[in-house]
Amino acid sequence: NALRMRPDRIIVGEVRGGEALDMLQAMNTGHEGSLSTAHANSPRDLLSRLETMALMSDVELPVSHVREQIAGALDLIAHMSRMPDGSRVVARISAVEGLRSESVLLEDIFAWRRGPQPGFEATGMLPSILRMLEERDERVDPRVFSGSASGDEQGAEAQGGASRVAQAGAAKRPAWPGKAASWPGSARRLGSVVE
């Protein structure tokens, strides 16, 4: 029903089963800024879980088709992890970069650095989503993705970059859910994963 109402965003609180296929199909119909959450141990594990959940639906699909749906539906995955003190941090922001040899390509953009000076570190990977953002006149300085800065400068630069990537693309966005990290404006679609 929601798709018939021409929504600007589709937000699915959490997927746990066969409804994952419906979510992927909705995200693949041009609803930019859609998002959802799911539980998995890592962004890579989320891809496997989404595949499994989609195959739990009543629709018989080959695995290769499900992988195409995943690669077409997701642009970014934000992975939250619980720290030893019980707090949660965004441990990784990963870009879904398409398919190669029937495998979904996944590249970390930012990763959480543990230790005495915790914070985000850029991995040096430039996500393909930058092209889409530029086409929309959303400017993100590519230097925020550079892994060449050092120490506090790198953490601050990467954290600022992660924030700018998250903020590009939508004027209004809901607050982050308490148990999962996700934002709709960073791209067409974002999946998030909770550890």
Entry pTM: 0.75
Cβ–Cβ under 8 Å, residues 112 and 89: yes
- 3-class secondary structure for 158-176? HHHHHHHHHHCCCCCCCCC
Specify the higher pLDDT residue, 40 or 189: 40
Say how many domains are in the chain: 1
Tens-place pLDDT, residues 55-93: 999 999 999 999 999 999 999 999 999 998 999 999 999
Q: What is the mean pLDDT of residues 2-14?
A: 85
Supply φ then ψ for residue 153, to 5 degrees: -60, -45
Cβ–Cβ under 8 Å, residues 21 and 66: yes
What burial letters (b/e) apply to 168-181, b meaning 16+ CB within 10 Å? Answer: bbbeebeeebeebb
Give the model's pLDDT for residue 194.
52
**Planar angle of CA 48, 50, 51, nearest 5 degrees:** 65
Residues spanned by the domain of 116: 2-194
CATH number at residue 139: 3.40.50
Of all residues in the chain, what percent carry a pLDDT higher than 70? 74
